[in-house]
């Protein structure tokens, strides 16, 4: 039997990286988005991925039933407007609040 080395690149864990920088005086913001058009877990995954792809976003929680997303991000790198744009680009309607 062959032993397969399993190095885990740190880049696979952006959350961990973001957590490392918390507690410093990095500008952080948390925004709630109202999202319409999501009907299943696949939609949730698409919205989640679209938001996580944005530079500066380090945490995304999407609530399918509530039609909401909560996003924590570095507001020096991205803004609420960019968040709603990313969701729209993924095919869903989004507003801040």
Positions that interact with Cu ion (CB under 5 A): 39-40, 42-43
Radius of gyration of the chain, Cα coordinates, nearest whole angstrom: 15
Q: Two tokens at 63?
A: 């609530």
Q: How far is the CB of 70 from Cu ion (least distance, A)?
A: 19
CB closer to Cu ion, 28 vs 43: 43
How distant, in Å, are the alpha carbons of 26, 31, 67, 96 from that of 13?
19, 22, 26, 27
State which residue, 11 or 39, has the beta carbon closest to Cu ion. 39
> Could you tell me the smallest distance in angstroms from the CB atom of residue 45 to Cu ion?
8
């Amino acid at each position: 039997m062959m032993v397969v080395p399993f190095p885990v690149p740190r880049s696979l864990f952006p959350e961990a990286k973001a957590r490392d920088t918390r507690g410093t005086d990095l500008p952080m913001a948390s925004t709630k988005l109202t999202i319409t058009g999501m009907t299943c877990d696949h939609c949730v995954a698409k919205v989640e991925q679209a938001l996580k792809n944005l530079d500066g976003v380090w945490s995304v929680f999407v609530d399918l039933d509530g039609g909401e997303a909560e996003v924590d991000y570095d507001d020096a790198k991205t803004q609420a407007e960019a968040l709603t744009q990313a969701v729209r680009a993924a095919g869903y309607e989004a507003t801040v609040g």
